[in-house]
């Protein structure tokens, strides 16, 4: 059974390789830019990146972001992002391992819930999240994207 662990600073090259081989959004372009983002991510209080390894390479990851909250009795918000499993390792428990580790961390951090969104059309993706306890339709997600004119080249 695959396991998950917190990501290390040295995991960046393996994470970037995972993103390059998976059906995810474009990763940060230059190595220096990616390194700056990675260091900021690791230093961010309440942010956790979990990974699952196979043969000394990362094959799955997800990020949990927790934030303080004045409502809900002061219990934190949890947001799950960047859930990625290498296509050749899907269905082997690696994705489950990182998401379950993130949920365990969220509950240990006193989150009252964990939200996540998926833009994937594949029903298997949605079944995966539902098997892990995520319930669709409890909330409505709205997304606003940054206007193209304000994006830096």
pLDDT of the residue at 150: 65
pLDDT-derived band at 135, boundaries 50, 70, 90: very high
Tell me the DSSP string of 8-67.
-GGGHHHHHHHHHHTT-PPPPSSHHHHHHHHHHHHHSTTEEEEEEEETTEEEEEEEEEEE
> What is the per-residue pLDDT across 8-53, written as a single tens digit (0 to 9) for each?
999 999 999 999 888 777 777 788 999 999 999 999 999 999 999 9
Q: State how far the Cα of 134 lies from the Cα of 41, in Å rounded to an integer.
A: 25
Say what the pTM is: 0.91
In the predicted model, is pLDDT for residue 151 greater than 90?
no
Question: How many of the other CB atoms lie within 10 Å of CB of 89?
Answer: 19
Q: State how far the Cα of 48 lies from the Cα of 120, in Å rounded to an integer.
A: 23
> Which residue range(s) make up the domain with 90?
5-150
Question: How many of the other CB atoms lie within 10 Å of CB of 144?
Answer: 5
> What is the per-residue pLDDT across 53-110, written as a single tens digit (0 to 9) for each?
998 899 999 999 999 999 999 999 999 999 999 999 999 999 999 999 999 999 999 9
Total number of domains constituting the chain: 1
Q: State how far the Cα of 124 lies from the Cα of 141, in Å rounded to an integer.
A: 20
Sheet bearing 111-115, strands edge to edge = 5-6, 47-54, 57-67, 76-85, 111-115
Q: What is the CATH number of the domain that holds 70?
A: 3.40.630.30
């Amino acid at each position: 059974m695959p396991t998950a662990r917190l990501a290390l600073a040295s995991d960046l090259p393996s994470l970037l390789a995972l993103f390059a081989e998976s059906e995810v959004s474009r990763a940060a372009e230059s190595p220096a830019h990616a390194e700056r983002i990675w260091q900021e991510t690791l230093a961010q209080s309440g942010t956790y990146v979990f990974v699952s390894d196979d043969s000394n390479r990362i094959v799955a990851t997800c990020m949990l972001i927790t934030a303080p909250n004045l409502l809900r009795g002061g219990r934190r918000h949890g947001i799950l992002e960047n859930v990625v499993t290498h296509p050749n390792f899907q269905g082997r428990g690696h994705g489950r391992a990182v998401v379950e580790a993130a949920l365990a961390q969220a509950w240990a951090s006193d989150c009252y819930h964990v939200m996540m969104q998926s833009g994937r059309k594949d029903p298997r993706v949605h079944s995966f999240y539902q098997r892990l306890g995520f319930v669709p339709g409890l909330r409505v997600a709205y997304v606003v994207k940054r206007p193209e004119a304000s994006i830096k080249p």
